């Protein structure tokens, strides 16, 4: 990383066009790597990405920015408190964006301990380390500093056919994953109210886009279809999610970091509700157009037993971030989905490397 980009002490967080130092946890994951790539591509900021490189984190997702003098990477598990504090001390960030988390509901059903460790204890360690670092900053830097914690709409539980989640929705997590993220959200809020740490929290809807680990719905459908295998749809396929293109989410995060008020929560959604069966058919239609075969890939759709406790519907009311920060999603769903499917078709080697030679298998049956 170049030393030529000055460390700027004053001003509000990343709003005045000056180069800042931003530390991103989970920087080799799906959303984290999209954030890092956007920061290097579109801003003058220096970025330090931390990641433990677990099963879903891969340096290949950071390859497009690996040669930038404004980018650096350190392999750090947030459970390693000393290494975490060392990274903060050496890099001296102006803001920390916390995206490191275990995120797959099915995996949390089979093995919840990893989610408690990463999402709760890891967040606690980060908060402790950041609080000590922040308290030691000069006054101007301390006032400008921000910690942005990225969470999920799953902490709010399951919606009926009407209504949407907002920043004031009651917490009602239904899976070990959602419960671990809810606990992390509460810890962040407590550190703001108790210690004055300038935190921001976002709760987003389902992300999709390039570089998503192949266990998630869209890449599972693409890879299974290309292999001529059944496309597994849980239950009756009626579980509804609000789909948000990852690049739009990144823009929302930067809006919150730049203009959000410390102590506030911002819900970020794509305003694009689709049930699982609709998503599968849309992916198949994109594949039919981009990689045609003798018959439609939709013929491979097959229903499988539902996951235990499967939430029926999520949807986000993003009016607060639209009104207060001027953010709106920019990517039409059809365009984002087509580009995502095209990316996977062009990057099958990335998928194979991410999977490490393992086959995709059904998780989250509750049998473990």
pLDDT given for residue 125 in this prediction: 98
pLDDT given for residue 355 in this prediction: 85
> Is the C-alpha dihedral spanning 343, 238, 334, 164 positive or negative?
negative
> Is 226 exposed, middle or buried (CB count within 10 Å of its CB: 0-12, 13-18, 19+)?
middle
pLDDT given for residue 363 in this prediction: 52
CA 94 to CA 87: how far, in whole Å?
Answer: 13
The residues annotated with a catalytic role in the active site are: 153-154, 177
pLDDT given for residue 319 in this prediction: 98
Q: Which CATH class is domain 21-212+244-272+310-331?
A: alpha beta
* Average pLDDT taken over every residue of the chain: 92
pTM of the model: 0.92
Classify strands 21-25 and 46-51 as parallel, antiparallel or unpaired: parallel
pLDDT given for residue 216 in this prediction: 87
Contacts of 63 (CB under 8 A, 6+ apart): none
pLDDT given for residue 215 in this prediction: 85
pLDDT given for residue 4 in this prediction: 32
Positions of the chain with pLDDT under 50: 2-13, 15, 362, 364, 368
């Amino acid at each position: 990383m170049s030393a030529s980009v000055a460390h700027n002490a004053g001003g509000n967080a990343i709003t005045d066009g000056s180069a800042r130092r931003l530390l991103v946890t989970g920087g080799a994951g799906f959303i984290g790597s999209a954030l890092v790539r956007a920061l290097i591509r579109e801003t003058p900021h220096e970025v330090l990405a931390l990641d433990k490189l677990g099963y879903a984190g891969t340096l290949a997702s950071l390859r497009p920015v690996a040669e930038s003098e404004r980018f650096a990477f350190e392999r750090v598990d947030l459970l390693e408190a000393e290494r975490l504090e060392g990274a903060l001390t050496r890099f001296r960030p102006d803001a920390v964006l916390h995206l490191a988390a275990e995120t797959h509901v099915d995996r949390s059903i089979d093995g919840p301990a990893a989610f408690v460790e990463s999402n709760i204890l890891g967040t606690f360690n980060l908060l402790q380390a950041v609080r000590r670092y922040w308290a030691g900053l000069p006054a101007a830097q301390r006032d400008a500093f921000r910690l942005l914690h990225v969470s999920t709409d799953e902490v709010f539980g399951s919606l009926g056919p009407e209504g949407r989640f907002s920043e004031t929705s009651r917490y009602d997590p239904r899976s070990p994953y959602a419960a671990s993220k809810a606990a992390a959200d509460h810890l962040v809020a407590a550190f703001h109210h108790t210690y004055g740490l300038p935190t921001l929290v976002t709760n987003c809807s389902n992300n999709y886009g390039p570089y998503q680990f192949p266990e998630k719905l869209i890449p599972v459908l693409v890879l299974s279809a290309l292999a001529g295998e059944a496309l597994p749809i849980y239950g009756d396929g009626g579980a509804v999610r609000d789909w948000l293109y990852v690049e739009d989410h990144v823009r929302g995060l930067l809006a919150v970091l730049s203009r959000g008020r410390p102590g506030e929560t911002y819900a970020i959604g794509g305003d694009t509700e689709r049930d699982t069966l609709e998503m599968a058919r849309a992916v198949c239609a994109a594949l039919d157009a981009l990689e045609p075969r003798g018959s439609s890939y939709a013929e491979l759709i097959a229903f499988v037993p539902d996951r235990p406790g499967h939430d029926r519907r999520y949807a986000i009311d993003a009016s607060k971030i639209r009104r207060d920060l001027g953010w709106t999603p920019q990517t039409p769903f059809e365009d984002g989905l087509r580009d995502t499917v095209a990316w996977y078709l062009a990057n099958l080697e990335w998928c194979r490397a991410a999977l490490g030679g393992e086959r995709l298998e059904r998780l989250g049956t509750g049998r473990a």
